[in-house]
Amino acid sequence: MNKLAETHYPIHDLLAWRWSPRAFADRAVEPATLGALFEAARWAASAFNEQPWRFIVARREEGACYRQLLECLVEFNQGWARHAPVLILGLAKRTYTQTGEINRHGWHDLGLATAQLVVQATALGLYAHAMAGILPDRAREQYAIPDDFDVVTGLALGYLGDAATLPDDLREREGAPRQRRPLTELVFSGGWNAPADLG
């Protein structure tokens, strides 16, 4: 399926080809491949080099461990994500380790680490679908997550599958063109809603 981004300016192929499918192939992701993804995340920038992100991961072949993580997703996401060979939860530490002060950038830094993970996945022929539809309280209970960490996001990850395996409504979404707001709505200069001159 061709989901290449239609850009107004040239961007790296890995970014142009990255998209978020819900159909995953029945193909395992090797531990060493996962290691490369988390290594990419590890080297993301963060405020004061705090590295506030943590990840909880489960591979489908791990059985009970996989089901434990699957149950931390909302029911809708469980419906399609149960076919992904890998599930991941992303967490962010609320405070700086050295000072105990609030880290207002923790979620941002988790996002940056996750983005690097996803770009590395794309480079290795994998796809990831981020999910806001998670159950943070259930995750906190299941994994005894410390109070100082927020359960922020979920990821389904694997090799691209056949969209025909999805229910009708999701199959339509899978085949729909990718869309983004124009840069004039996203990048300002000189004042709010004043589009920047990007040439």
The mean pLDDT of the chain is: 96
The predicted structure's pLDDT at residue 177: 87
User: How far is the C-alpha of 139 from the C-alpha of 69, rounded, in Å?
Assistant: 8
Tell me: pLDDT of 35 over 70. Answer: yes
User: How far is the C-alpha of 98 from the C-alpha of 63, rounded, in Å?
Assistant: 38
What's 13-162's CATH class?
alpha beta
Domain boundaries, the chain: 13-162
- Is the pTM value of this prediction over 0.85? yes
* 3-state SS assignment for residue 140: helix
The predicted structure's pLDDT at residue 1: 67
Burial class (CB in 10 A: 0-12, 13-18, 19+), 105: middle
Strands 53-59 and 86-93: antiparallel
Per-residue pLDDT tens over the stretch 134-190 = 999 999 999 999 999 999 999 999 999 998 898 888 988 888 888 999 999 999 999
